[in-house]
């Protein structure tokens, strides 16, 4: 279904306790993302972008409310259940690549597939295709330390979609790159998302990149609102 809601946040609350103070970061946040939709999350530092992405990505549990993934309530499940869903259905890209330094680029993209139980030959073939798609097919045998910042992020993006997740969540994926490199990496990310029909929520401070997505949202008083 083209219009299917892939991910929904319903009444999500997140609070942090800092000494005697209780910080409310998400306060009844409502949000939904449909199949094939690419949405930018643009908000000032400290507004709660990472908190929202981590909660949507089942890395953190909401204090109230729930996260619905393809119709299934997942936010309040046990840590083990959320980890297993995350592994198969959610792709995450961070500002810093978090690639495993002792493995080559192609091995980094194979790993999530091997953990899922794919045969090594299949995992290698898919990883090779994804690296080609990200325009770094020739760099597959290199370790992360032998790649440029832009190349490292391309590998991290390929790894995030290696298991064909339902949704891609990205936290400032090009925030660590110079503007020109950021734009090229984003072109590749954009093409990959469009080609695969993935739903994507991407936090960025870059208004030009945000302007290329289907819609933009921000955080105000702990709620997700259109920008």
Binding site for ligand ATP (CB under 6 A): 16, 18, 23, 25, 43, 45-51
Report, in Å, the least distance between residue 137 CB and ligand ATP: 32
- What DSSP letter does each residue of 159-227 carry, written as one string? HHTTT--SEEEEESTTTTS-HHHHHHHHHHHHHHHHHHT-EEEEE-S-HHHHHTSSEEEEEETTEEEE-
Residue 61 exposed, middle or buried by CB count within 10 Å (0-12, 13-18, 19+): middle
Report, in Å, the least distance between residue 61 CB and ligand ATP: 13
Report, in Å, the least distance between residue 59 CB and ligand ATP: 12
45 or 145: CB nearest ligand ATP: 45
19 or 226: CB nearest ligand ATP: 19
CB 97 within 8 A of CB 155: yes
25 or 198: CB nearest ligand ATP: 25
Residue 7 exposed, middle or buried by CB count within 10 Å (0-12, 13-18, 19+): buried
34 or 205: CB nearest ligand ATP: 205
Report, in Å, the least distance between residue 43 CB and ligand ATP: 6
- What DSSP letter does each residue of 43-88 carry, written as one string? --TTSSHHHHHHHHTTSS--SEEEEEETTEE-TTS-HHHHHHHHHH
Report, in Å, the least distance between residue 17 CB and ligand ATP: 7
59 or 125: CB nearest ligand ATP: 59
């Amino acid at each position: 279904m083209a219009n299917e809601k892939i991910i929904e946040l319903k009444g999500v609350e997140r609070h942090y306790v800092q000494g005697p103070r209780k910080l409310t970061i998400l306060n009844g946040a409502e949000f939904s993302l449909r199949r094939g939709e690419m949405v930018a999350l643009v908000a000032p530092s400290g507004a709660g972008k990472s908190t929202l992405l981590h909660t949507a990505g089942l890395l953190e549990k909401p204090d109230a409310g729930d996260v619905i993934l393809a119709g299934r309530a997942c936010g309040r499940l046990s840590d083990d259940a959320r980890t297993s869903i995350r592994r198969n259905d959610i792709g995450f890209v961070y500002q810093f690549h978090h690639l495993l330094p002792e493995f080559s680029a192609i091995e980094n993209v194979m790993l999530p597939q091997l953990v899922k139980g794919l045969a090594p030959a299949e995992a290698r073939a898919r990883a090779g295709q994804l690296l080609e798609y990200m325009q770094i097919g020739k760099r597959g045998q290199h370790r992360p330390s032998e790649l440029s910042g832009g190349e490292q992020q391309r590998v991290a993006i390929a790894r995030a979609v290696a298991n064909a997740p339902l949704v891609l969540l990205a936290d400032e994926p090009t925030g660590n790159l110079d503007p020109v490199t950021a734009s090229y990496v984003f072109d590749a990310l954009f093409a990959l998302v469009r080609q695969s029909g993935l739903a994507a929520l991407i936090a960025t401070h870059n208004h030009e990149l945000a302007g290329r997505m289907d819609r933009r949202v921000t955080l105000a008083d702990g709620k997700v609102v259109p920008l």
